[in-house]
Amino acid sequence: MKKYVHNFSAGPCILPKEVMQKAAEAVIEYNNSGLSIIEMSHRSKDFVAVMDKSFALVRELLNVPDNYDISFLQGGASLQFTMLPQNLLPVGGKVGYLNTGVWASKAVKEAEFYGETIQVASSKDKNFSYVPKDYSIPSDLSYLHLTSNNTIYGTQLKSFPETSVPLVCDMSSDLMSKVIDVSKFDLIYAGAQKNMGPAGVTLVISKKGIFGKSGRKIPTMLDYTTHIDNESMFNTPPCFSIYTCMLTMEWLKNLGGIAAMEAINEKKGKLLYDEIDSNPLFLGTAAKEDRSLMNVTFVMKDPSLEPEFSQMAKERNLSGIEGHRSVGGYRASIYNAMPIESVQALVDAMRDMAKKHA
Ligand SMILES: *Cc1c(COP(=O)(O)O)cnc(C)c1O
For residue 2, the model assigns a pLDDT of: 64
CB-based burial, 264-284: b 16+ in 10 Å, e otherwise:
bbeebbeebbebbeebebbeb
Residues 100-115: what's their mean pLDDT?
A: 96
**Ligand 1: nearest atom to the Cα of 150:** 13
Q: Judge if the beta carbon of residue 103 lies within 6 A of ligand 1.
A: yes
Ligand 1 pocket residue status of 173, Cβ below 6 Å: yes
pLDDT for 53: 98
Q: Hey, do 17-255 and 257-356 end up sharing a CATH topology, with the first three levels equal? A: no
- 251 catalytic? Reply is no
Which whole number is the average pLDDT over 259-272? Answer: 98
Residue 178's closest CA among 253, 249, 255, 258? 258
* Whole-number pLDDT of residue 3: 76
Q: Are strands 155-156 and 116-122 parallel, antiparallel or unpaired?
A: unpaired
| Mean pLDDT of the 300-310 span | 96
Handedness of CA 228, 233, 238, 239 (dihedral sign): positive
Hey, what CATH topology would domain 17-255 get?
A: Aspartate Aminotransferase; domain 2 (3.40.640)
Using CA atoms, how far residue 328 sits from 106, 299, 300, 322, in Å, is 20, 8, 11, 7
Would the pLDDT of 27 be above 80?
Answer: yes
For residue 14, with 0-12 CB atoms within 10 Å meaning exposed, 13-18 middle and 19 or more buried, which class applies? Answer: buried
Mean pLDDT score, 115-135:
96
Question: Is position 103 annotated as part of the catalytic site?
Answer: yes
Topology (CATH) of 257-356: Aspartate Aminotransferase, domain 1 (3.90.1150)
Pocket test of ligand 1: the residue of 172, 193, 326 to mutate, having most ligand atoms within 8 Å of its CB, is: 172
pLDDT at 160: 97
pLDDT tens per residue, range 185-242: 999 999 999 999 999 999 999 999 999 999 999 999 999 999 999 999 999 999 999 9
Compute the distance between CA of residue 204 and CA of residue 187 in angstroms, rounded to an integer: 7
The mean pLDDT of 31-52, rounded to a whole number, is 96
C-alpha 291 – ligand 1 centre gap (Å): 19
| pLDDT reading at 167 higher than 70 | yes
Domain residue limits, the chain: 17-255, 257-356
| pLDDT score of 339 more than 80 | yes
pLDDT tens, position by position, 64-94: 999 999 999 999 999 999 999 999 999 999 9
Band of pLDDT at residue 1, cut at 50, 70 and 90: low
Q: What is the mean pLDDT of the chain?
A: 96
Torsion angle in degrees (nearest 10) through CA of 32, 33, 36, 37:
-90
Q: What are phi and psi of 167, to 5 degrees?
A: -100, 135
